[in-house]
Amino acid sequence: MKTKHILLPTDFSANAHNAIDYAIYLFEKVECKFYVLNSFEVGASGLSSTMGKAKDTRLFRAIKEESERNIKRLVQELESENENPLHSFEGLSIADTLINAIGRTAIDENIYYIFMGTKGSSAAKEVFMGSSTIKVLQNLDFCPIMAVPGNYDFDLPDKIAFATNFEHTYLKVELVPLIEIAKLWNSEILVVHVDKGKGLSRQQETNKDLLTQLLKGLNYKFMEVEGHAKISEAIMSYASENKNIGMIAMINYWHSFFEKLTKENVIKRVAFHTEVPFLIFPLID
């Protein structure tokens, strides 16, 4: 397995640090280069036509220096705490929006996974690095993203709940991010379908059969979940009731049929409230 390039955005919060630690933990057996990224903005005026003004320039430099200083400190801390010879770290401080900084870095550095922290299901409000990770999910649909609850106590994913409604005809390449993690820890993949009492259409049956072929050689089984009005509640309830589930996985349906069919943004709700890491991987049209 070639070196994995993994992006770790941070706002230097405990939640972001938890996601960083989980990424290092999950890929402890894999040669990885971790890019620790902090993006910063001065404001609408600070980075536009008024940049020439002395006051704004001083402000920009002050924020830039603080970001670079904090990134350097964090990278040094990670290097001192992690003596794994398979892992290396590089700090990045970028003056841009978080979306742009992550997108550019993901392309420039051939990033394979992005790990971001959440407040977790115990949060009083739906706060996610200022809801930034939800914006990332909305706007970056070409790279797998792992959302890690801030209160998650690390455990290896003995079982991975892969939620699907069998509406999409999966390609083998789409499932690679999921399959690689499953192979890494010999995880059982539970293909979870929420039964709404209508039965499967012919196309859904065909797609289910195709999944059987794509998962051949892996430890997997199909599971039906009933009794929930909302798909997101069914998925999270199933994961909560089955304590061996250490991860939820789903393809990124953000602008696709899942949201249209259910009138419910499943990914957003699961990302905000999941108790275990949530892997969202790209849909390939």
Which of 241, 166, 269 is closest to 209 using CA atoms? 166
User: What's the CA gap between 199 and 105, in Å, rounded?
Assistant: 43
Q: What is the pLDDT of residue 133?
A: 76
Domains in the chain (CATH in brackets) are: 4-149 (3.40.50.620), 159-278 (3.40.50.620)
Which of 193, 184, 178 is closest to 280 using CA atoms? 178
For residue 256, the SS3 value is: coil
Question: Cα-flanking dihedrals φ and ψ of residue 258, to 5°?
Answer: -60, -50
Rg (CA), the chain: 20
User: What's the CA gap between 12 and 10, in Å, rounded?
Assistant: 5
pTM of the model: 0.88
The number of beta carbons lying within 10 Å of the beta carbon of residue 27 is 22
Return the H-helix or E-strand segment holding 207. Answer: helix 202-214
Those residues with Cβ within 8 angstroms of residue 162's Cβ, 6 or more apart along the chain or in another chain: 178, 189, 190, 191, 192, 249, 250
Residue 175 tokens, joined: 């499932």
Q: What is the pLDDT of residue 130?
A: 41
Q: What is the pLDDT of residue 80?
A: 96
Residue 279 tokens, joined: 């892997």
Q: What is the pLDDT along the chain (285 residues), one digit of tens a residue?
A: 689 999 999 999 888 999 999 999 999 999 999 999 999 887 654 444 444 444 467 888 899 999 999 999 999 999 999 999 999 999 999 999 999 999 999 999 999 999 998 864 444 444 444 467 778 877 888 899 999 988 888 788 999 999 998 988 999 999 999 999 999 999 999 999 987 777 889 999 999 999 999 999 999 999 988 867 678 888 888 888 888 899 999 988 655 544 544 445 777 778 777 889 999 998 876
Which of 147, 184, 159, 161 is closest to 19 using CA atoms? 147
State the helix-helix crossing angle for 132-139 and 98-108, rounded to 10 degrees.
Answer: 50
Q: What is the pLDDT of residue 136?
A: 84
Q: What is the pLDDT of residue 279?
A: 95
User: What's the CA gap between 218 and 281, in Å, rounded?
Assistant: 19
Residue 110 tokens, joined: 């051939």
